[in-house]
Amino acid sequence: MPHKDFHPSRQQLLSYTDGELSSRDATRIRSHLEVCHECRAHIAEIEAASAGFQQTYRRPDPLQSDGSGPRALLRARLAELVRNSGDKGWRRLSFALDARGLLCVCALGILVLLGAQLAYRQTARHVDQASAFAGLLPNPNLTPGSTRPVTLAYICSLDHDQVVHAVPGPLERKIFKEYGIGGVPTRSYEVDYLITPGLGGSDDARNLWPEPHYNAVWNSYVKDQLEDRLHHMVCGGQLSLDQAQKDISHNWIAAYKKYFHTDRPLPLSSSSVALNDSAMIPDRRWIIQVLLGA
């Protein structure tokens, strides 16, 4: 039963509009809004003020430059940074080339040569296997996906850091090894959950796989966006948890296209705005419907 006598504070209404309340508090306020015109009007004022500020803030590039010059400058500086790191290493090495240093370096060199031959054989196998698993989708035999028993209330109480969070280091190494990248991990991959914990995914190895990080169109950052979107849709009642788990585990790329209505990943900024406007705060659309008497 909605409580008309309970009036949330302005701070609570703003937090509710921004999707920052727990699901229990949000439900309580939503029930109150059904019967309180005053609070609904205040929400509308918040929306209008937010839109007004957004329009003011989102102005065109104040320097009216396409960024090509600054980008080229950054590239040059990064290249210099890398060279300086290498030069410093060489200078440190040169100081060590006295008699004792030379002896140590020679002994080290012999050990390195002996080990390199063994490592080369291992690396060739790993690189071959790594290329086989450079795929954007996991190997279904190794990563079918797995979940743990959770309640909707629990996962909806999680904040963003808990919905999308890192895999522990030892487990990462195990996954790389299973996929044949063990021993030669690269920065090009991120071990990621197939079904994110924010949607009830487990920490089991069957739910993890090495995902291309940045050098593919469909990378881990794009999947993070999908996980955030699905989490908000599930907590907003727009999608069942079972369906979300099924869609993301079956083919997360197809799921992204379905829920973002696009054939290619959206730029991070625009997808974030889209999230704010539609899925992050599904209650906002409900509120608009209530205000319009829909």
Partner 1 sequence: MSAFSSDLTHAQSLPVVITSHTSASSSDLEREVITFFDMYRHRLLAYIMAFGISGHDSEEIVQEVFLSLFRHLQMGKSRKNLHSWLFRVAHNLALKQRYANQRWQNRIEPDTLLTEKLWDPSPNPEEQVLSAQRQSHLLTVVNALPEQDQCCLRLRAEGLRYRQIAHVLGISLGSVSMSLTRAFSRLMRADKR
Residues 199-238 that bind partner 1 (CB under 8 A): 202-204, 206, 213-215
Closest approach of partner 1 to the CB of residue 31, in Å: 22
x/- track of binding to partner 1 for residues 83-122 (CB under 8 A)? --xx------------------------------------
How many CA atoms within 13 Å lie on the side-chain side of 121? 4
Position 167 contacts partner 1 (CB under 8 A): yes
Closest approach of partner 1 to the CB of residue 47, in Å: 10
| Alpha carbon distance 162, 197 (integer Å) | 8
Among 22, 54, 122, 131, binds partner 1 (CB under 8 A): 54
Token pair 């006598």 is found at 5
Dihedral angle over CA of 74, 75, 78, 84, nearest 10: -120
Position 293 contacts partner 1 (CB under 8 A): no
How distant, in Å, are the alpha carbons of 103, 111, 116, 273 from that of 106? 5, 9, 15, 58
Q: Of the two residues 78 and 104, which places its CB atom closer to partner 1 in the complex?
A: 78
Position 45 contacts partner 1 (CB under 8 A): yes
Among 187, 292, 293, 294, binds partner 1 (CB under 8 A): 187
Closest approach of partner 1 to the CB of residue 48, in Å: 6
Burial class of residue 50 in the structure, from the number of CB atoms within 10 Å of its CB (0-12 exposed, 13-18 middle, 19+ buried): middle
Among 34, 37, 48, 87, binds partner 1 (CB under 8 A): 48
| Alpha carbon distance 75, 78 (integer Å) | 5
Instruction: Measure the CA angle with vertex 127, ends 123 and 128; round to 5°.
Output: 120
Q: Quickly count: other Cβ atoms within 10 Å of residue 204's Cβ.
A: 14
Q: Of the two residues 16 and 256, which places its CB atom closer to partner 1 in the complex?
A: 16
Q: Please identify, among the stretches 22-30, 105-113, 122-130, 158-166, the one whose residues bind partner 1 according to the rule CB under 8 A.
A: 158-166
Position 11 contacts partner 1 (CB under 8 A): yes
